[in-house]
Structure 1
Amino acid sequence: MDNSLPLESPSLSRRQLLNFITGAAVAATAGAALYPAGKFFIPPAETGAGGAILAKDVLGNLIPASQILAEPPGTRALVAGLAGEPTYLIVKEDGTLDSIGIVDNCTHLGCTFPWNPMDQQFQCPCHGSRYAPDGTVVRGPAPLPLKIVQVVAIDNSILISPWTENDPRTGEKPWWL
């Protein structure tokens, strides 16, 4: 009689172990390389109630409300708004911020354009579209008024949130919803 214990083959061979370690190293390296690329291509989530964000400058620095309110009445200050879209904030005659901000993207082909204080219009230099101070189309080829956002100044912060109510210029549901 043979009372020896049978030898079992190991559950993981040397080759399988090395393949596993190599695969794990490749996966970790690829993940470490792809994570920053993914963060670059996916826009940051908008935070705050109703998707509100804080107004920032082109470099991503917060803009205090006092900085914009120090400008003379009628000034249109350009800030980075929702999803980084350039947005004009308007200083009213009483020295407060208007509750409506105007997004600086032409509804014709998406160009950005300056405010022309001499003509009191937004003028797209690419194809000649002109907009009234409230963002309605004065002259085409732009088919729609400019997108608007809601602006609220709380303490020394400026909150910008999506416009979800009826468009006050047309009385209808906004085209961008």
Structure 2
Amino acid sequence: MHNTLPLESPSISRRQLLNFLTGAVVATTATSVLYPVTKFFIAPTEGSEDGSILAKDIHGNLIPAKQILAEPPGTRALVAGLAAEPTYLTIQSDGTLHPWGILDNCTHLGCTFPWNPNDNQFQCPCHGSRYDPDGRVVRGPAPLPLKLVSVNLEEEYIRISPWTEIDPRTGEKPWWV
């Protein structure tokens, strides 16, 4: 009895080769189609771990702080803030930024609205809600004050982060947290 290895090498049949190639083509095609679809449904992560971002203009370009601070005191600058939501930043009388910004979304139905310097109010043109300069409701139908964001200078840019502290206007926990 000789213990030798067979000299024949196992070969793959034509059917097995075609099944393998078909499976590889199907897997490659499915992956190339599913990858962009899944990327579409996953929100991009922009900003830092605490959810803050740098203020941008309407085109997505960073806004230098000196550009906003060059405006006269009392000016309300509209920037793209968290999640690209329109956010008003206010220049204080001493030429610095107010520590909070106000989101430009009506708490009634989410309309965006302009700052009216003549009446010194935010005025929603859709349903008539009015807010004072700090975002408190002056006249409904809006049920809640406007959302706040924290505003800080970071080197030459403005960092906007979610407001998680006590709402200074009401002295209570913010409704949006």
TM-score of Structure 1 vs Structure 2, range by shorter chain: 0.7 to 0.9
* In the alignment, structure 1 residue 73 sits paired with structure 2 residue 76: no
Structure 2 counterpart of 1:130, which letter?
R
8 Å Cα contact 1:46-1:82 kept in structure 2: no
Match of 2:119 in 1: 119
Structure 2 counterpart of 1:174, which letter?
P
Cα shift at 1:22? 3.8
8 Å Cα contact 1:150-1:160 kept in structure 2: yes
Partners of 2:31 and 2:59 lie apart in 1 by: 28
Match of 1:145 in 2: 145
Q: Percent identity?
A: 71
Partners of 1:154 and 1:36 lie apart in 2 by: 35
More off after superposition, 41-50 vs 137-146: 41-50
Aligned pairs, number: 174
Match of 1:105 in 2: 105
Match of 1:155 in 2: 155
8 Å Cα contact 1:105-1:111 kept in structure 2: yes
TM-score scaled by length of structure 2: 0.86
Cα shift at 1:51? 1.7
Partners of 1:176 and 1:110 lie apart in 2 by: 13
Match of 1:174 in 2: 174
Long gaps (5+) in structure 1 = none
Partners of 1:58 and 1:140 lie apart in 2 by: 29
Long gaps (5+) in structure 2 = none
Partners of 2:5 and 2:24 lie apart in 1 by: 39
Are residues 38 and 4 of structure 1, via their aligned partners in 2, closer, same or farther at CA, if it must alter by over 3 Å?
closer
Partners of 1:101 and 1:120 lie apart in 2 by: 16
Match of 2:89 in 1: 89
Are residues 64 and 7 of structure 1, via their aligned partners in 2, closer, same or farther at CA, if it must alter by over 3 Å?
same
Partners of 2:67 and 2:42 lie apart in 1 by: 30
Cα shift at 1:97? 0.5
Match of 2:56 in 1: 56
Structure 2 counterpart of 1:158, which letter?
I
